[in-house]
Chains A and B, each alone.
Chain A
Amino acid sequence: DTAVSQTPKYLVTQMGNDKSIKCEQNLGHDTMYWYKQDSKKFLKIMFSYNNKELIINETVPNRFSPKSPDKAHLNLHINSLELGDSAVYFCASSQGDYPPGELFFGEGSRLTVL
């Protein structure tokens, strides 16, 4: 049973399109995160949700919007995709946000914007 699963694993799309990446965790964790890994393999946090509340919102463009229908899911919706959005996006979860408990990562979703 996969602890943190995200779909799709690969996504190729045109500039200007809108796309979503879904994430689900079956660990019962109360905090979920989205991270972006750029071409230099540098990880940076984008958002986290704790009990359906956004508790971090890094300086990411407002074209990115996290949506959490329940505490097991945190989806990432991206509007008007740009070339610079091409990256690998990782979902993760942990128990507790202060400090963040042990992190469990999804396998990553590689987004390519053409």
Chain B
Amino acid sequence: KNEVEQSPQNLTAQEGEFITINCSYSVGISALHWLQQHPGGGIVSLFMLSSGKKKHGRLIATINIQEKHSSLHITASHPRDSAVYICAVPESGGGADGLTFGKGTHLIIQP
């Protein structure tokens, strides 16, 4: 069964700072998901990636399949980026399994 570790658990930064959130997993996977949970509780999918790098606006996600590691970066951070960021991978690496989730990184961006 896949184990997911995220770091840091909590992160407070100033507006404009470059943010990095890390995710490591134990079993090789086909794809990894980054999710964002807003303070109001809603969850949105940010990225699904299986190799390399993806970019969406100020968000960048990278994955290193060999090292079983992914990072989520936020450039020019803004208070509206304050949220919980969650990494998720297939439970046992593939097949008709659900996702297992990291415990999330609680990010606060101060003005």
Asked if A100 and B43 make an inter-chain contact with CB atoms under 8 angstroms apart, the answer reads no
- The answer to whether B94 has its CB under 8 Å from any CB of chain A is yes
Asked if B96 and A44 make an inter-chain contact with CB atoms under 8 angstroms apart, the answer reads no
Docked CA distance A20–B1 (Å): 30
Residues of A near B33 (CB, < 8 A) are 100, 102-103
Residues of B near A50 (CB, < 8 A) are 96
Residues of B near A101 (CB, < 8 A) are 48
Docked CA distance A17–B19 (Å): 46
Q: Is the interface of A mostly helix, strand, loop or mixed?
A: strand
List of 3 A-B pairs having minimum Cβ-Cβ separation, nearest first: A45-B98, A105-B43, A99-B30
Asked if B41 and A104 make an inter-chain contact with CB atoms under 8 angstroms apart, the answer reads no
Docked CA distance A90–B84 (Å): 16
Asked if B101 and A42 make an inter-chain contact with CB atoms under 8 angstroms apart, the answer reads yes
C-beta contact mask, A98-113 vs B, less than 8 Å → 1, else 0? 1111111101101000
Residues of B near A99 (CB, < 8 A) are 29-31, 50, 90, 94
Asked if B96 and A55 make an inter-chain contact with CB atoms under 8 angstroms apart, the answer reads yes
A8 to chain B, nearest CB (A): 14
